[in-house]
Chain A
Amino acid sequence: MNILAVLMSSLGSQIAQFPSDTLSWIMSIVFYAMFIVFMFYGQKIQTYTMLRQVEGSLYKLKYIRDEGRKITIETIKEIGKPQTDPSTKVDRFLEYFTISPQSLDPAGVVWKLEHILDIRDTRFKDEVKLMAPASGETQVNNLENTLEAAMALNYIYKIIRHFYLLGKKTLSLYIIMQIQMILPLIMREAEAYASALKAFAYGQPIGDGAGALVAAKLMHGHETRKIAKDCVVATVPMEGRTSYVIKAEGPGGNVGKPGEAVKTIIEENDGKINMIIMIDAALKLEGEEPGQVAEGVGAAIGGPGVDQYKIEESILKHRIPINAVIIKEDIGDAVSPMRKKIFDAVDPAIERIKQVILEKTKEGDKVIIAGVGNSIGIGH
Chain B
Amino acid sequence: MSKTSSATTTRISSFVLVVVFITLALSLTALYLGITALLTEETVVSGYLLLVGFLGLALSTYMLFQTRRRILRLRIKAPPVTTTIECRKCSFKSVREFQRGDHIFKEVEPCQKCNENMLITAIYREVKGKVKRSRF
Chain B residues lying within 8 Å of A63, measured Cβ to Cβ, are 6, 9-10, 74
Given A8-B30, A15-B48, A379-B104: A202 and B98 interface contact (C-beta under 8 Å): yes
Chosen A-B contacts, 26 in total, with CB atoms closer than 8 Å, are: A4-B25, A5-B29, A8-B33, A15-B45, A16-B40, A23-B48, A24-B44, A59-B70, A59-B74, A63-B6, A194-B76, A198-B78, A202-B100, A205-B124, A250-B103, A251-B106, A287-B134, A336-B79, A338-B123, A339-B124, A339-B126, A342-B124, A343-B122, A378-B103, A379-B103, A379-B105
Checking A18, A20, A27, A377 against B104 with a beta-carbon cut-off of 8 angstroms, the contacting residue is: A377
Which of A65-73, A100-108, A298-306 lines the interface with chain B?
A65-73
Q: Which residues of B contact A (CB under 8 A)?
A: 1, 5-6, 9-10, 22, 25-26, 29-30, 33, 36-37, 40, 42, 44-45, 48-49, 70, 73-74, 76-79, 81, 98, 100-106, 122-127, 134, 136
CB of B55, distance to nearest CB on chain A (Å) = 13
Nearest to A71 among chain B residues (CB) is: B76
Q: How far is the CA of A336 from the CA of B80 in the complex (A)?
A: 12
Q: Which residues of A contact B (CB under 8 A)?
A: 1, 4-5, 8-9, 12, 15-16, 18, 20, 23-24, 27, 56, 59-60, 62-67, 69-70, 91, 94, 194-195, 198, 202-205, 213, 216, 220, 250-251, 287, 336-343, 377-380
Chain B residues lying within 8 Å of A213, measured Cβ to Cβ, are 104
Checking A23, A27, A203, A250 against B100 with a beta-carbon cut-off of 8 angstroms, the contacting residue is: A203
Find out whether the CB atom of A59 lies under 8 angstroms from the CB atom of B124. no
CB of B112, distance to nearest CB on chain A (Å) = 23
Find out whether the CB atom of A337 lies under 8 angstroms from the CB atom of B124. yes
CB < 8 Å A-B pair total: 126
5 nearest CB pairs, A to B: A251-B103, A12-B33, A8-B29, A20-B44, A379-B105
Interface of B is mostly: mixed
Find out whether the CB atom of A340 lies under 8 angstroms from the CB atom of B29. no
Chain A residues lying within 8 Å of B126, measured Cβ to Cβ, are 339-340
Nearest to A61 among chain B residues (CB) is: B9
Chain B residues lying within 8 Å of A27, measured Cβ to Cβ, are 48
Find out whether the CB atom of B45 lies under 8 angstroms from the CB atom of A220. no
Checking B25, B48, B79 against A195 with a beta-carbon cut-off of 8 angstroms, the contacting residue is: B79
Find out whether the CB atom of B104 lies under 8 angstroms from the CB atom of A378. yes
Chain B residues lying within 8 Å of A339, measured Cβ to Cβ, are 124-127
Q: How far is the CA of A290 from the CA of B88 in the complex (A)?
A: 30
Find out whether the CB atom of A62 lies under 8 angstroms from the CB atom of B5. yes
Q: How far is the CA of A203 from the CA of B9 in the complex (A)?
A: 29
Find out whether the CB atom of A340 lies under 8 angstroms from the CB atom of B105. no
Chain A residues lying within 8 Å of B40, measured Cβ to Cβ, are 16
Q: How far is the CA of A202 from the CA of B79 in the complex (A)?
A: 12
Given A20-B45, A63-B9: A343 and B103 interface contact (C-beta under 8 Å): no
